[in-house]
């Protein structure tokens, strides 16, 4: 099934276009500290402006839990977007209601209006049909560019598409086609690098790649769970003991598909009684010789070198999740090595995850060094599991 896109949309001139974007950006002291997500939707916004549409932007921001939270208002986002587009962005204090309708009525061709945080209404996440109707009556056409919430069937990202003609924006289209490369005869070897704190959201990807990939490289807290499941002492490291059976199941699955599953062979630890803020002494151990009082906080040098070599010889690399506590300099080396190997390899590189992207920023590695950096964390993972995401599914013919 093919995705309907704005390129095929007819009669954009003068049309009220409800454009769902993912402007869930980090704020500090009322200012946007990272505008990447805003910039990611510029091609769609500019296309619609040139076509003479009246653009009505919808987004969520943070987790207001269905209530008005002043710190999560979208005004700083409107200011930032105005700076980038060099034009005045109109902004309302709600996303539905008669006041909003009046402002929408006065919009002219090429105008850009940003509605208030959709998650101030509990009905947003519930995909409440009355709320959806209130949103839908503001527009003639719905365009979804919010890949970051494509895995959620919420009112503003999914529900509206049932009430209005709907199409994908350029960002959603690009994310979909770039990530789909994993399933479309990828250059081999296909390598998955997976890190991060917890296994929960990554089980599906691990299972899928156990079938698809030639190699899986594991680091981070997740790797500790696997090391422990394999009978290694991991001391006081972050791990999920109740996931040991699952870890063994995944190892068996990979084995039965001929996928090489690589766990860290050495690690960087600290004494678990040390305060991390006090620049504690670090210790390097082989993974089969970790003392019980220790806490693993990064992959070791040998592991980092081995992972890097595998990445450099790959045909395609998919990376999600830092392989150590990279936020603290003492434990950033592993993640930095992975990031550099991904930047240097000739393989196609597909990266994503909020903390993974934060790590790239910290190491000052420019985005152009990678084939594709996904704007979706959870959405990317679910897409790579091979799941149909509701927000995308509903835009297909």
Residues at the site binding ligand ADP, with contacts judged by CB under 6 A: 195-197, 220-221, 238, 296-297, 320-322, 324-327, 353-356, 377
Q: Does 354 bind Mg ion (CB under 5 A)?
A: yes
Q: From Mg ion, ligand ADP, none, which one binds at residue 320 (CB under 5 to 8 Å depending on kind)? A: ligand ADP
User: Which DSSP letter does residue 234 get?
Assistant: -
Q: Does 205 bind Mg ion (CB under 5 A)?
A: no
Residue closer to ligand ADP, measured from CB, 109 or 327: 327
Considering only CA atoms, which of 45, 30, 374 is closest in space to residue 178? 374
Task: Find the part of the chain contacting Mg ion (CB under 5 A) among 14-22, 76-84, 94-102, 347-355.
Answer: 347-355
Active-site annotation, residues: 37, 198, 354, 378
The backbone region for 319, taken as left when phi is positive above 0, alpha when psi lies in -120 to 50, beta otherwise, is beta
Q: From ligand ADP, Mg ion, none, which one binds at residue 356 (CB under 5 to 8 Å depending on kind)? A: ligand ADP
Alpha carbon 373 to chain centroid, angstroms = 9
Largest Cα span, the chain: 70
Q: Does 24 bind Mg ion (CB under 5 A)?
A: no
Closest residue to Mg ion, based on beta-carbon distance: 355
Residue closer to ligand ADP, measured from CB, 137 or 306: 306
Residue closer to ligand ADP, measured from CB, 377 or 391: 377
Length of the chain: 397
Q: Coil, strand, or helix at residue 328?
A: coil
Residue closer to ligand ADP, measured from CB, 76 or 196: 196
Residue closer to ligand ADP, measured from CB, 64 or 220: 220
Segments in the chain forming alpha helices (H):
36-40, 42-50, 75-85, 98-105, 122-126, 129-136, 170-180, 203-212, 220-229, 244-256, 301-312, 333-344, 354-362, 378-384, 390-393
What the block records as the tokens of 277 is 């803020």
Respond yes or no on whether the N-terminal peptide bond of residue 189 is cis (omega within 30° of 0).
yes
The binder of Mg ion chosen from 173, 175, 355, 382 (CB under 5 A): 355
Residue 19: CB minimum distance to ligand ADP, A: 26
Residue 327: CB minimum distance to ligand ADP, A: 5
């Amino acid at each position: 099934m093919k995705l309907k896109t704005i390129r095929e949309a007819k009669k954009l001139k003068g049309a009220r276009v409800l454009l769902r974007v993912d402007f869930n950006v980090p704020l500090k002291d009322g200012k946007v500290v990272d505008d990447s997500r805003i910039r990611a939707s510029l091609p769609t916004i500019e296309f619609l402006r040139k076509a003479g549409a009246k653009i009505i932007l919808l987004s969520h921001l943070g987790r207001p839990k269905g209530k008005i939270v002043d710190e999560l208002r979208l005004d700083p986002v409107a200011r930032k977007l105005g700076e980038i587009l060099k034009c005045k962005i109109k902004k309302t204090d709600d996303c539905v209601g008669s006041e909003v309708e009046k402002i929408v009525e006065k919009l002219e061709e090429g105008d850009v209006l940003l509605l208030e945080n959709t998650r101030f209404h509990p009905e947003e996440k519930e995909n409440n049909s009355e709320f959806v109707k209130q949103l839908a009556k503001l527009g003639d056409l719905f365009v979804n560019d919010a890949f970051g919430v494509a895995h959620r069937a919420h009112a503003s990202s999914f529900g509206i598409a049932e009430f209005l003609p709907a199409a994908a924006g350029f960002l959603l289209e690009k994310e979909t086609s770039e990530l789909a490369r994993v399933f479309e005869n990828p250059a081999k070897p296909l390598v998955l690098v997976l890190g991060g704190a917890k296994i929960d959201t990554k089980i599906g990807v691990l299972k899928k790649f156990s079938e698809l990939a030639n190699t899986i490289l594991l680091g981070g807290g997740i790797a500790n769970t696997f090391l422990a499941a394999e009978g290694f002492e991991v001391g006081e490291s972050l791990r999920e003991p109740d996931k040991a059976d699952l870890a063994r199941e995944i190892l068996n699955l990979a084995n039965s598909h001929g996928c090489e599953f690589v766990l860290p062979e050495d690690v960087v630890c600290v004494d678990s009684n040390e305060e991390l803020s006090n620049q504690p002494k670090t210790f390097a151990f082989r993974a089969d010789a970790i003392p019980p009082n220790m806490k693993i906080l990064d992959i070791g040098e040998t592991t980092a070198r081995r992972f890097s070599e595998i990445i450099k010889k790959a045909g395609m690399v998919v990376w999600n999740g830092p392989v150590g506590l990279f936020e603290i300099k003492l434990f950033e080396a592993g993640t930095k090595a992975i990031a550099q190997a991904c930047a240097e390899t000739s393989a196609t590189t597909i990266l994503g995850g909020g903390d993974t992207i934060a790590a790239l920023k910290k190491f000052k590695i420019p985005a152009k060094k990678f084939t594709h950096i996904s704007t979706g964390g959870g959405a990317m993972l679910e897409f790579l599991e091979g799941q149909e995401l509701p927000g995308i599914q509903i835009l297909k013919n």
